[in-house]
Structure 1
Amino acid sequence: MLTAARLGAAALTGALLAGAAAAPALADPSAEASVPGTASPSASASPSPTAAGVPAGLYGKGDPQYDGVWRQSLALIALHQERVEPAEAAVTWLLDQQCEDGGWPSYRVEGAACTPATEDSNATSMAVQALVALGDHRQAVTRGTDWLRANQTVDGTWAYNPGTPGDANSTALAVNALLAAGLDPATTAAQGGQSAYAGLASFQLGCWSPAEQRGAFVYQPVTGAPAAPNTLAAAQALLASAGGHLPVTTTDRKDAAPKALDCPTTQGDGPVAHADSAEADAAWLTGRLTAGGQRLLLDTPGAAATADFNSTAWSVLGLVASGHSAEASGAANWLAGNGYAWAAQGKNGVDPAATATLVLTARAAKLDPYNFGGANLVQLLVDSGPKPKAGPAAGDPQATRAPGAAITEPDENSGFSAGWLIAVGLLVGIGAGILLSLNRRRNAAAATSAAAAASADAATSADSAPEEKPEQDR
Structure 2
Amino acid sequence: MFVRRSFAVIAAASALCAVTAPAASARAAGSAAAAPGSAAAPAGKLPDGLYGKSDPKYDGVWRQSVALLAQKAAGAKPAAEAVEWLARQQCDDGSFTSYRADPGAECDAKKTPSDTNATALAVQALSAVGGRGGTVRDSLDWLESVQNEDGGWGYNPGSPSDANSVSVVIGAYSAAGRDAERIRKDGDSPYDALRKLQLGCDADESDRGAYAYQPGKKGELEANGDATAAATLAGFGSGLLVGAREGDGGGTAKGKARKQRPLEPPKCGKDGKDGDGKLPGGRTEAAEAGAAYLAAVLKKGGGHLRAVTPGAEGGPDYGNTADAVIALAAGGHRAEAEKSLDWLAGGLGKWDKSRNDPAAIGGVMLAVHATGGDAAKLGKTALLERLNATGPRPARMPDADGGGNGEEDGGDFTKWSLVGAGIAAGAGVGILLSGRRKRQGL
* Counterpart Cα distance in 1 of 2:351 and 2:242: 21
Contact kept, 8 Å, 2:306 with 2:315, in 1: the verdict is yes
The residue that corresponds to 2:324 in the other structure is 315
Change (3 A) 1:52 1:380: farther
1:269 lines up with 2:276 in the alignment: yes
Aligned to 2:203: 209
Cα RMSD for the two superposed structures: 2.4
Output one character per residue of 1:89-147: Cα deviation in whole Å (capped at 9) or x when no partner. Answer: 11111011000110100001113431346111111111000011001111000011111
Deviation at 1:155, TM superposition (A): 0.2
Per-residue deviation at 1:263? 0.7
Aligned pairs (5 A) from 1:99-114: 99-110=91-102, 111-114=104-107
| CA pair 281-115 structure 1, distance change in 2 beyond 3 A | same
> What secondary structure is seen at the aligned counterpart in 1 of 2:181?
coil
Q: Note if 1:56 corresponds to 2:48.
A: yes
Pick one of 359, 367, 379 that aligns with 1:373.
379
Contact 1:340 1:375 in 2 (8 A): no
Q: Please list, as runs of the form range in 1=range in 2, the aligned pairs for 1:141-180 lying within 5 A after superposition.
A: 141-180=136-175
* Distance (Å, rounded) in 2 between the aligned partners of 1:52 and 1:366: 40
Which of 327, 342, 352 aligns to 1:333? It is: 342
- Gapped runs of 5+ residues in structure 2? 1-40, 244-255, 409-442
The CA deviation string for residues 206-229 of structure 1, in whole angstroms up to 9 with x for no partner, is: 112111110000000013264211
Aligned counterpart for 2:265 among listed residues 260, 263, 278: 260
Query: Which residue number corresponds to residue 401 of structure 2?
Result: 396
What amino acid is aligned across from residue 386 of structure 1 in structure 2?
P
Q: Report the Cα offset of residue 305 of structure 1.
A: 1.2
Letter in 2 for 1:175: I
Q: Name stretches of at least 5 consecutive residues in structure 1 with no aligned partner.
A: 1-48, 404-474
1:51-87: per-residue Cα shift (whole Å, max 9, x none)?
8531111001000011100000010111122222222
The answer for the alignment partner of 1:306 in structure 2 is 315
Q: Please say if residues 231 and 299 of structure 1, whose CA atoms lie closer than 8 Å, have aligned partners that are also in contact.
A: no
Using structure 2 for the length normalisation, give the TM-score. Answer: 0.74
Q: How far off its partner does 1:242 sit?
A: 0.9
Give the one of 224, 229, 239 matched to 2:233: 239
**3-state SS, counterpart of residue 186 of structure 1:** helix
Alignment-mate amino acid for residue 252 of structure 1: R
Partner residue in 1 for 2:82: 90
Structure 2 residue 191 is matched with structure 1 residue 197: yes
Question: TM-score scaled by structure 1?
Answer: 0.69
1:129 and 1:92 map into 2 onto residues whose CA distance is 15
Give yes or no for contact 1:204–1:218 (8 Å, CA) kept in 2: yes
How many residues get paired? 349
Q: Is the deviation greater in 350-359 or in 116-125?
A: 116-125
- 1:301 positional shift: 6.5
Tell me the distance in 1 between the aligned counterparts of 2:87 and 2:377.
32
2:223 to 211, 222, 229: 229
Partners of 1:342 and 1:234 lie apart in 2 by: 23
Give how far 1:323 is off: 0.9
Is the Cα contact below 8 Å between 1:342 and 1:354 reproduced in 2?
no
Q: Is the 8 A contact 1:153 1:193 kept in 2?
A: no
Counterparts in 2 of 1:226 and 1:371: CA distance versus 1, 3 Å: same
Whole-Å separation in 2 of the counterparts to 1:308 and 1:76 = 23
For residues 278 and 169 of structure 2, the distance between their equivalents in structure 1, rounded to whole angstroms, comes to: 20
Q: Give the conservation status (yes or no) of the 8 Å contact 2:91–2:107.
A: yes
Structure 2 CA distance for aligned equivalents of residues 156 and 172 of structure 1: 12
Instruction: Give the letter aligned to residue 268 of structure 1.
Output: G
Q: Which residue of 2 aligns with 1:360?
A: 366
Shift of 1:245: 1.4
How many Å apart are 1:282 and its aligned residue?
A: 0.7
Equivalent residue number for residue 176 of structure 2: 181
Q: In 1, Cα distance between the equivalents of 2:178 and 2:403?
A: 30
Deviation at 1:358, TM superposition (A): 0.8
- SS of 1:323's equivalent in the other structure is coil
- Paired with 1:286 and 1:203, the residues of 2 have a C-alpha distance of 19
Match of 1:430 in 2: none
- Cα deviation 1:222-252 (Å, max 9, x = unaligned): 1326421111000111110111113113432
Larger radius of gyration: 1
Retained in 2: the 8 A contact 1:217–1:234?
yes
**Greater helix proportion:** 1
1:21 paired residue number: none
Flag the 1:188–1:282 CA change in 2: closer, same or farther, 3 A: same
The answer to whether the 8 Å contact 1:87/1:387 transfers is yes
Deviations for 1:269-300, whole angstroms, at most 9, x for unmatched residues?
Answer: 35443131111001100110010000001134
CA contact (8 A) 1:202 1:271 kept: no
Percent sequence identity is 41
